[in-house]
Amino acid sequence: MLSQQLGQALARYLITASIQSIEGGKAILKLDTTGELIAWPIAHLPSYLTPGSVVSFQIGSDTLVQQEREAIARKLLADLIK
């Protein structure tokens, strides 16, 4: 139960995409969740990535993720105490 909740919480902050092509200094990324295409500067990606590679981005901050984990832990403890 807790691992499932943590997985769902982390999924809200993690975006995965595949590199479709590299054009004019930008990697064309296709978001796995929506299929949307975005142009991302290749300077902000590791140099070993090529078309077909999959990348993950964490959206938000470690603080937001930690706060969500703490809220889940408090809820779980409250359920156990009942």
The confidence score (pLDDT) of residue 1 equals: 54
pLDDT given for residue 28 in this prediction = 97
Residue 72 is predicted with a pLDDT of 83
Distance CA 47, CA 25 (A): 12
Instruction: Provide mean pLDDT across the span 5-10.
Output: 60
Going by CATH, does the domain composed of 2-77 fall within 3.40.50?
no
Per residue in 12-66, pLDDT (tens digit) is 677 899 999 999 999 999 999 889 999 999 999 998 999 999 998 877 777 877 8
**pTM to 2 decimal places:** 0.60
Question: Between 5 and 51, whose confidence is greater?
Answer: 51
